[in-house]
Amino acid sequence: MKSMAFLALTLVALGSAGASEDKGYPDISQADLKAAIASNSVTLLDCNGSASYAKGHIPGALDFSTVKDNLAEKLPKDKNALIVAYCGGPKCGAYKAGAAAATALGYTNVKHFSAGISGWKESGEQLAVPAAKETGVKAGGCGGCGG
């Protein structure tokens, strides 16, 4: 009976060990992301949808929903360049579309900013807001889950 209980606990532990890990896209800290932005060594993909992007995004980010069809033209030629995808926050999975698209194009240094737009705002960082005519989208609502 003890061996069955041990086996059950072992299986539960093994099953949950990888559950919190995100398969394939390592996280980037906010400090590292800020440094990469400051040195112009990152391409950011905002995967929250155009309405959320219009309300505010991390400065320099591309609106993935509007560039996904011509993403190859928007990303650097260097396939080892840092590409960071983000969405609403730690529980949001919308970033995976941007990360997967960059990976499919052959980029090898694709990361996830898991704090997302919510973490960026909560830490007091500034948001960039495009002029309405740049996006053609009225502010409000969210096409992803970023707010």
Residue 46: inside a domain, yes or no?
Answer: yes
pLDDT score, position 15: 37
Classify residue 147: in a domain, yes or no. Answer: no
Task: Please check whether residue 32 lies inside any domain of the structure.
Answer: yes
Q: In this structure, is residue 28 part of a structural domain?
A: yes
Flag whether 110 is in a domain.
yes
- Whether the CB-CB separation of 84 and 60 falls below 8 Å is answered with no
Q: How far apart are CA 117 and CA 30, in angstroms?
A: 11
Number of domains in the chain: 1
What is the pLDDT averaged over residues 93-110?
98
Domain carrying residue 95: 24-135
- Domain membership flag for residue 16: no
On whether the CB atoms of residues 87 and 45 are closer than 8 A, the answer is no
Q: What is the pLDDT of residue 24?
A: 78
What was the pLDDT predicted at 10? 35
Confidence (pTM)? 0.76
Count of all residues that appear for the chain in the document: 147
CATH number at residue 106: 3.40.250.10
What is the DSSP code (8-state) at residue 128? B
